[in-house]
Structure formats: C-alpha cells, structure tokens
A and B are shown apart, each in its own frame.
Chain A
Amino acid sequence: MESNYQLSRIHNYVTGLMSEEEMYAIEREALDDPFLQDAIDGYKLQKGVDSRPLSLLQQRLARRIEEQAEHKSRVFYSWQRLAIGSVAGVLFVVVCLLLVFNQLNRSREVRSQEVVLMEEMLRVRTTENEGNDARPEQGWAQFNEELNSELRDVANGGSLTIRFQLVGGVVKDLEISGDSSPDFLETLSNFIRHKVRWEGTLGELNITLNNRE
C-alpha cells in the first residue's frame, strides 16, 4: 500500500537508513508537501516509526466503523419490532370493534340501523403493484378510510389499476384502467389528484371497491 511505503520511507529517513540520493528525494518532496514535512518532524521527535500505536489506531478506526453499523442495525430492528407491534395492535382493535358491531347488529333487528353500519364498513382495498414507491403521507390505512368515505355514495364497485408519476409530490400522467362505474372512476381520480399528499416517485396501485350490499 502507498501509505505503508511512505511510512517506511519516513522511518528509513528518520533513522538514517537511506542513501544520500533517497534522502534528497524525500527532502525535495517534503519541501512541496508540508503534510509530509510535519509527519517527518513528528516521527523524528518520536525517534522513528513505532508500529504499535499505528496498529492500535487501525483497530480503533475499524471498531468505530463497526459500532456505527451495529447501531444502525439495532435501530432498524427496534423500529421494525415497533412497527410490527403497532400494526398488530391496530389489527387487534379493528377485529374487536368488528366483533362488537357484529354482535350489536345481530342483537337488534331494526333494519335502518343495519344500513348505517354497512355504510361504515371498509369497502376499499388497496394493493401496491411491483415498481410502486408512492406512499400517502397519512399511511395506507388512513388512505383507505378516507377513500372509503369519499366513495360512500358510489354503490357499484369494481377493480381499477392506477399508474401515475409524482413530481415534487404532484400527481402527473395519471392513468386508470379496469372495470368500474363512471362514479367510482371519477371520484377515485379526483381523490388521487387532489386529496392525498404523496411521497415517492411512481405510483403503481390496484384499488378494489366492493359493491354496497
């Protein structure tokens, strides 16, 4: 390695193991390179190059870099656990709520109440296709809920494939394909363009709306 070669030159110079020509060459070099000159002066004060502190330094540097990598993975795993825990918690609450509503629903035979509950059910499902890196700022769960609410008056569902570019968070080149009612298509297009704050660059999504029962 070049640095080892330079170090052995410094050592040979400081300890007088160089020929006159070699000494002249390193002195000439040091005259144009104050970094080298100061290092030579330092090693001269130390009376030669001692490999121990240098190898200790190499170890300390390697350890420091390793620490950073470990810290990064620790943070990553703790975030991962936290995220999994949060999702599990949310799912648990949702399941409990559904069970409670279901129970209440069964115990009351009033038809009008049934309709209200059905409207509040989540009819929207969003899946990310390959290549997608777009993400709503509020998260997918909130996205689905808000879209569900926007589509409350749309009775007939369908499944639509959506593709768009994001430039500075603004939706460009929005393409929507698939079978659906015009209401669903228009509401969805308006929602994606104007009611969501996006992150990322490319949206490749599939959105399914169940028919209202």
Chain B
Amino acid sequence: MDEKEKLAYYKRTGDLETLGRLYDPYMSLLYGVCYKYLQDADKSQDAVMSIFEELIEKLRIHQVDNFKSWLYVYARNYCLMRLRRDRKIVMVDIEDHLLESEQQLIDTDFVRWDEADFQKLESCIETLTNEQEQCIRLFFLKQKCYKDIADQTGYTLSKVKSYIQNVKRNLKACMERK
C-alpha cells in the first residue's frame, strides 16, 4: 500500500497499525520540528506522541491529500499552540513562517521557462539589495552552500539562510506580479 492507500484504508477502518506505519517514517523529522519550537527532549517526545493521538481521530474525519505537508503544518501548529498554552511567548520570524506549506505544493509544478521569463527574473533580481543579490547568485548560480557563502561574504550563517529563503519568496511574488 502506498501512502494514499494507507490513508484511505485507515480512514475506512480505523486500523491503528496502518496509522503507525504511516506515521513512523516521519517521527524523526517530527521530533526535530518539535525540538525547534519546544527546545526540550522530553517535551518534544511527548509532543510527537500527542500528535499521533490526535491523528487517530482527525484522520478519520478529514480528507488529506498530501500527508507530509499536512502533518508538518499540523505539528507546527500543535507546538505553537502548546507554547501559547504554556504562556511562553516565542518570537518567530514571520517571513520564515509564511506560506511555506503552500509553496511546497506549488513548487512541485515545474514549468519550462522561455526567454521572457528569464528577462523578468533579471529585472526582479535588480530590485534586491546588494547583500541579497550576492547571496542568491552564489547559492543558485554558483551552487555554494550556506557556509561557503558566509565565509566568502562575511555575513553570519543565519543571515545567509534568511536572505536566501526570503529572496526566493520575494522573487516568486515579483515574477507573478510581472
């Protein structure tokens, strides 16, 4: 059974073993996600198990097409709710948390570009700051990793990562506007 068939089978039967087989491959990634927000090993483990408990009911009600994206969004919301409930205010960069799951789905649709698209991209790149332009050219054109870009430009690793993530999103929006 592939993932979609397992989802449908679980929705129909409520067989916990099937849900376990569906959930198991994502547990290590989920633990990492929970650790990012909760920053505690025990709390992160409990969160992974609590999310599983909640899925037992949710997946029998909701129609889920892309389990991985859905699970990620569900887990992240769970952790943020948990932090809110514990009255622990966490500052997250809104840029880093905007539309990511939707993006993932859209990004899978590859479209062949023509000359006009490349010209549009060039004109969008011109709107970026020097730091942003430098980082994305090194990353996307020279295929340098974040560490090399940080070494070469003198920016911190987190700045490099943030520039690249934000610019990717801004360029996409710019391309769609033009």
Contact = CB atoms under 8 A, between A and B. Distances in A.
A61 B49 contact: yes
A40 interface: yes
A23 B165 contact: no
A130 interface: no
A40 to B, nearest CB: 7
B164 A31 contact: yes
A50 interface: yes
B49 A27 contact: no
Interface string A18-59: 001101100100011111101111110110011001101110
Interface stretch (A2-10, A131-139, A141-149, A192-200): A2-10
A20 B27 contact: no
Contacts of B143: 21, 24
B137 to A, nearest CB: 14
Interface string B17-51: 10010011111111111111101010011001100
A33 B35 contact: no
A37 to B, nearest CB: 8
Interface range for A: 35 or more
A31 B100 CA distance: 9
A115 interface: no
Given A57-B45, A57-B48, A20 B145 contact: yes
Given A38-B36, A42-B34, A58-B24, A53 B44 contact: yes
A74 to B, nearest CB: 15
Interface in B6-25: 16-17, 20, 23-25
B27 A65 contact: no
A61 B164 contact: no
Interface residues of B, number: 46
B interface majority secondary structure: helix
Contact of B33 (A3, A38, A57): A38
Contacts of A20: 144-145, 147-148
A64 B31 CA distance: 17
Given A1-B25, A20-B145, A54-B27, A61 B20 contact: yes
Contacts of B145: 20-21, 23-24, 27
Contacts of A32: 103-104, 107
Contacts of B29: 3, 6-7, 35-36, 39
A100 B175 CA distance: 93
A57 B31 contact: yes
B120 to A, nearest CB: 20
